[in-house]
A and B are shown apart, each in its own frame.
Chain A
């Protein structure tokens, strides 16, 4: 602060109403500065809130809240059913939950919120303001990826936990409660796979354009139509080729699920369930079946996730400075 400003600071002026106005001049900031990791954390938290419309207008909150409530509904129905009829079996499984409902809600959530997290900064050319600050080029997409993954995780896992609470509250003894807990854990892990794959894929697709409406289309349309196509091909494979052997679907039917991320996730679940002998009826899963190709599903899942994350990071290496 210059001597002049200090002099001004030392002489409070009298305001009209008798109050005192202090001209405090320019103040330096000498206190703690947060490091790179804490800045990424702040951006992640900001984006996570934004994914649910928090810190944005009222309209932005409607869809996330609606989708979340919709996904919680089966868990609530399950809890009520168990409470009224203690001898009934749980209606909803931890692993698959209600696949069609989860697919639709998560698809809409990702198609709406991935563009919300990215397109405004692209459209308004705000990125240079970020990149001119103490962060590295990779930090921005990584923060957005963590934020959207956590957001998807939130809307997928909280219904799982509600389901668990509903089930546990009706069982007797620690043994049964422990059994429920053991069944919940794979469900939570599976939900995490959903979160990471769909968030990375959604953000990569959304980062292609700064126009929000186009970004929503660019995200939603491929996710939706690949899902329809996977089902159509699986059906066609069944009708055209019939089973490859006793209890074995044709190769086309088994591999059709690789096309869509949702059926891919379903295939991964079936592959992992097989050794455990847990059988979820085929119609409850998105993919009709995976046949012998379970490991292929696992490999494609891993490759697609890595490719989407890598693609997103590469995309943000290129833009923002030109």
Chain B
């Protein structure tokens, strides 16, 4: 369980015990016009939690408020039982933060940087050296750590960013778009690493991303925000159930296939150069396979696709019987799973 829309809870009360992060009516406005967070109330429990939202949805703003780096316009937030406004110092000694953008100096070695940042986390000199070596080893940097960071690939730089967040032995990691700029292999490696830190190291993690398909693989819970508002917060399994669609492409005879699939009650919709059908388990695959085989059509592509995040988190998704209305308008922005796009 992850979320309660706890609008009735006492605004001035104590943080809920056991919660890793708790936001109550959190609002952040820049000037009069820009609202980054609008009355966000959510509770996050230990484990790996994904923070999903499009670019500009308020993910980074939320993380900076949680770290005590930004002051909310109104509302309160607690991290590990500490008030973000009054006790940011205590929070920052218990959390590790991996920023979204590039933040590494190119002309020092990874060892030097992580050791120095370990000292800045309050470690004595010897402990900082040991933990820097440990952290870099955990993220998979071995001999390379004596090389200047400027010579690293993007994937290695992301690992250094993760290592510096880990060096102070945090209780909570706040990771802002950790897979940014990585190729598919690099993404998988980074996600595995995050999953390992969450499960084996026993550190709670909040990982922000705009790629749902990506982080649903490693998260226990999901929190989706859009335009600073909470869309939904729930466990991964309940969120992602029955939300996928299947894209089928044939070289020719698409009209025949559409008629055949319609006859089988799959409700196909023309989309780009193929057909979309609502995916309801293996039976859908079988039906598509049989249809294509019966008609003797040259099948060239079958691909699982996902809805936009608003679609996904809408409480009552439209019935598959009328996908032309509920699914198709949302589709142009979507991407293959594994990199499910949110706008």
Q: Which residues of A contact B (CB under 8 A)?
A: 1-2, 4-5, 25-29, 31-36, 38-39, 42-43, 46, 55, 57, 120-121, 124-126, 128-136, 320-321
Contacts and interface: CB of A to CB of B under 8 A. Distances in A.
Closest 6 CB pairs between A and B?
A: A134-B93, A132-B97, A29-B169, A33-B122, A26-B201, A34-B122
A126 B117 CA distance: 10
Contacts of B107: 57, 120
Nearest to B128: A42
A28 B92 contact: no
A124 B149 CA distance: 12
A320 B95 CA distance: 18
Contacts of B117: 129, 133
Contacts of B102: 124-125
Contact of A124 (B67, B103, B123, B138): B103
Contacts of B89: 36, 134-136
Contacts of A120: 105, 107
Contacts of B131: 29
Nearest to A43: B120
A128 B116 CA distance: 14
Contacts of B120: 39, 42-43, 129-130, 133, 135
A4 B196 CA distance: 12
B70 interface: yes
B264 interface: no
Interface residues of B, number: 39
B204 to A, nearest CB: 14
Given A28-B169, A38-B122, A133-B117, A128 B97 contact: yes
A129 B127 contact: no
Chain A at the B interface: mostly helix, strand, loop or mixed? loop
25 contacts: A1-B201, A2-B200, A4-B200, A26-B202, A27-B134, A28-B169, A29-B169, A31-B124, A33-B121, A34-B123, A35-B122, A38-B122, A39-B121, A42-B119, A43-B120, A46-B116, A124-B102, A124-B105, A128-B69, A128-B99, A129-B117, A132-B67, A134-B90, A134-B122, A321-B69
Contacts of A126: 103-105
Contacts of A28: 169
A308 B131 CA distance: 38
A5 B104 contact: no
B168 interface: yes
B317 interface: no
Given A26-B202, A34-B123, 15 more contacts: A26-B138, A27-B134, A39-B120, A39-B122, A42-B120, A55-B112, A124-B102, A125-B99, A125-B103, A126-B104, A126-B105, A131-B69, A133-B121, A135-B120, A320-B69
A133 B124 contact: no
Contacts of A5: 200
B106 A125 contact: no
Nearest to A120: B105
A145 to B, nearest CB: 17
B270 interface: no
Contacts of B95: 132
Contacts of B86: none
B9 to A, nearest CB: 28
Contact of B106 (A4, A55, A121, A124): A124
B101 interface: yes
Contact of A134 (B103, B121, B127, B134): B121
Contacts of B123: 29, 33-34
Interface string B121-152: 11110010001001000100000000000000
A216 B102 CA distance: 24
A129 B161 CA distance: 9
